[in-house]
Amino acid sequence: AQSVTQLGSHVSVSEGALVLLRCNYSSSVPPYLFWYVQYPNQGLQLLLKYTTGATLVKGINGFEAEFKKSETSFHLTKPSAHMSDAAEYFCAVSDRGTSYDKVIFGPGTSLSVIP
Amino acid sequence: GAVVSQHPSWVICKSGTSVKIECRSLDFQATTMFWYRQFPKQSLMLMATSNEGSKATYEQGVEKDKFLINHASLTLSTLTVTSAHPEDSSFYICSGEDNEQFFGPGTRLTVL
């Protein structure tokens, strides 16, 4: 069975500082990996995804993530935090072996940005 | 990207009544749609997978007779919460698949 863990339910960074949100996954087959952002009382927006190819994936709003198979990790980073980055972030995994992309979400990390 | 809408965006109902939530793919056809629920400060939990023209596949622990899912067309799936109780109060999010999943804005259900 697939699963996702996110270290740190809450992360605070200063504006302009590096953002690092950690994600580790468990999957019996090569996974598809995703990062989503959720603003209060809204749906999910896809930040980036890894399917195949280059392990460093660039997404929207300056975010990027690196797939490290040996570490079963897919950490999300952004060089310089902005106030508008404050939100809930979810790492997710899907099983590329299924006929449809059943997505399993991690518990989420709440990011606060301090002025 | 593709757009998924949900209606209503929020609903308040009395305990014992039924509530229907619609999920529509506006600019693509979604053979498969997914329904999630999210409790405050928690992650999204997959409830069921809805395939057009066939019965939904429910995740373990989800009562199929309580959460009725109908996927009558390639652009519409509905979730009906039957005989709703306060513990059913939650944020319900649907998604449609078009090479990737596109999520709706969610429906907040409050059962009094």
Percent of chain B topping pLDDT 70 = 99
Judge whether residue A101 has pLDDT over 80: no
Cβ distance A100 to B97 less than 8 Å, yes or no, reads yes
Contact in structure between A78 and A18 (CB atoms under 8 Å)? yes
Exposure on the CB side of residue A107, measured as CA atoms within 13 A = 8
CB contact under 8 A, B49 and A42: no
Structure tokens at A33: 């990996």
**pLDDT tens digit sequence for B2-23:** 899 999 999 999 999 999 999 9
Average pLDDT over residues B53-71: 92
Asked if A44 lies within 8 A of B42 by C-beta distance, the reply is no
Distances, alpha carbon B89 to alpha carbons B12, B33, B44, in Å: 9, 21, 14
Whether the predicted pLDDT of A104 surpasses 90: no
Q: What percent of chain B has pLDDT over 90?
A: 74
Arithmetic mean of pLDDT over chain B? 92
Tell me the pLDDT band of A96, cut-offs 50, 70 and 90. Answer: low
Q: Which residues of B touch A103 (CB under 8 A)?
A: 34, 46, 95, 101
pLDDT over threshold 80, residue A1: no
Interface test with A, best of B43, B49, B97 (most A CBs within 10 A): B43
Interface test with B, best of A4, A36, A38, A96 (most B CBs within 10 A): A38
The whole-angstrom separation of Cα B95 and Cα B21 is 13
Reply yes or no on whether the pLDDT at A98 is more than 70: no
Is the model more confident about B57 or about A43? Answer: B57
B19-31 pLDDT, tens per residue? 999 999 999 998 8
Q: For strand A56-58 and strand A64-68, is the pairing parallel, antiparallel, or unpaired?
A: antiparallel
Any residues with CB less than 8 A from the CB of A74 and at least 6 apart, and which? Answer: A23, A24, A25, A33, A35, A50, A65, A66, A67, A68, A91
Do residue B42 and residue A107 have CB atoms under 8 angstroms apart? yes
The answer to whether A64 faces chain B, any CB pair under 8 Å, is: no
